């Protein structure tokens, strides 16, 4: 799409070379905007954005948002942070810094230039929930000293900062709580359940299940989630969130493994391992707020989304 100079926005995407960030950059460029992709390439990769490099409206900066950044933009999408337990527990102090110092730096930038700013928060703020499905007014059940706390509490603190900047400085904020999302460009070794299962199935390796597999998750395809991001950013200024974004269709982990084995034609067996500490037993969003305020709900079926994701991994691991 080609926009006039008056309609084209200058948009910053932190974590723009990551799984979701790269899809967001692609969407914003297709909508005709100028996009600055910022990434320190800890979990992001240039492979995710190579196809965007020739676009004259696309710019890439290697930068860690725990340090200040000075650019002139109108919108900021703050997606920078390792999102899988394998990666965020690798350096938990840096994970907390990315969530907290990164939020402070991006909020400071937004305040300085008068930009609208979006925070990619997470369903992990609910911890191991005692309410099911989770609504936005549920305050969560989180272990602040456990191995997942660097991510869970880091994201909770980031939300606090966003709403304090909104109250204290009248900053235009948007906070989205992202539930399990999957699709092409996921890191093959990130330890997340969809990528794990697909890679193991394609290689004919045992499918690793933690616990008895009865724990539930809900899985949203990446294109649906990016649509929700854009709708929230384009919504009126009163729509601050937090808003749950995910697919309310619930599935057990064992059920997902069986679907992946069937769709890949794999002969992989299931291999049971102990459940990690603080791993939630249930995770499913109530998306009433997203439906009401954004007129959004996911439209991609699990089978269609998995088919596209399996095709992607088949090219890079086989």
Residue 65 · residue 80 · CB < 8 Å: yes
The CB density around residue 50, as the number of other CB atoms within 10 Å, is: 11
Our answer to whether residue 70 is catalytic in this structure is: no
Token reading at 194: 């969809």
Burial track 81-116 (b if 16+ CB lie within 10 A, e otherwise): bbbbbebbbeebebbbbbbbbbbbbbbebbeeeebb
116-122/75-78 β-pairing: parallel
Which three-class secondary structure state does DSSP give residue 146? Answer: coil
Phi-psi region of 138 (alpha: psi -120 to 50; beta: other; left: phi over 0): beta
- Residue closest to 241 by CA, chosen among 291, 290, 296: 290
The CB density around residue 318, as the number of other CB atoms within 10 Å, is: 8
- Residue closest to 141 by CA, chosen among 126, 152, 156: 126
Q: How far apart, in whole angstroms, are the C-alpha atoms of residue 24 and residue 33?
A: 12
Q: H or E stretch including 289?
A: helix 288-294
Q: How far apart, in whole angstroms, are the C-alpha atoms of residue 206 and residue 306?
A: 19
Residue 268 DSSP one-character state: P
Q: How far is CA 298 from the centre of its chain?
A: 15
Q: Annotated catalytic residue: which of 77, 88, 151, 165?
A: 151
58-62/75-78 β-pairing: unpaired
Which residues are marked as active site?
151
């Amino acid at each position: 799409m080609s926009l006039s100079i008056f309609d084209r926005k200058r948009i910053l995407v932190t974590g723009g070379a990551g799984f979701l960030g790269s899809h967001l950059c692609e969407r914003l460029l297709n909508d005709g905007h100028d996009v600055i992709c910022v990434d320190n390439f800890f979990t992001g990769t240039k492979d995710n954005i190579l196809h965007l490099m020739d676009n004259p409206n696309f710019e890439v900066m290697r930068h860690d948002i725990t340090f200040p950044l000075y650019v002139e933009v109108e919108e900021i999408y703050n997606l920078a942070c390792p999102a899988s337990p394998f990666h965020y527990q690798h350096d938990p102090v840096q994970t907390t810094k990315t969530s907290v110092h990164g939020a402070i730096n991006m909020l400071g930038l937004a305040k300085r230039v008068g930009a609208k700013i979006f925070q990619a928060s997470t369903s992990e703020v609910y911890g191991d929930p005692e309410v099911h499905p989770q609504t936005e007014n549920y305050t969560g059940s989180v272990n602040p000293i456990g191995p997942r706390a660097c991510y869970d509490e880091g994201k909770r603190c980031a939300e606090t900062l966003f709403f304090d900047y909104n109250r204290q400085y009248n900053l235009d904020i948007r906070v989205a709580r992202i539930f399990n999302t999957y699709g092409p460009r996921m890191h093959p070794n990130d330890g997340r359940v969809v990528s794990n299962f697909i890679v193991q199935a394609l290689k004919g390796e045992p499918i690793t299940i933690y616990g008895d597999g009865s724990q539930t998750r809900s899985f949203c395809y990446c294109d649906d989630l990016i649509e929700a991001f854009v709708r929230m950013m384009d919504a009126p200024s009163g729509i601050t969130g937090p808003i749950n974004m995910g697919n309310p269709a619930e599935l057990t982990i064992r059920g997902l493994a069986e679907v992946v084995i069937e769709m890949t034609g794999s002969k992989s067996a299931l291999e049971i391992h102990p459940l990690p500490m603080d791993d939630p037993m249930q995770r499913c969003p109530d998306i009433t707020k997203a439906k009401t305020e954004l007129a959004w709900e996911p439209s991609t079926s699990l089978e269609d989304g998995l088919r596209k994701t399996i095709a992607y991994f088949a090219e890079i691991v086989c």
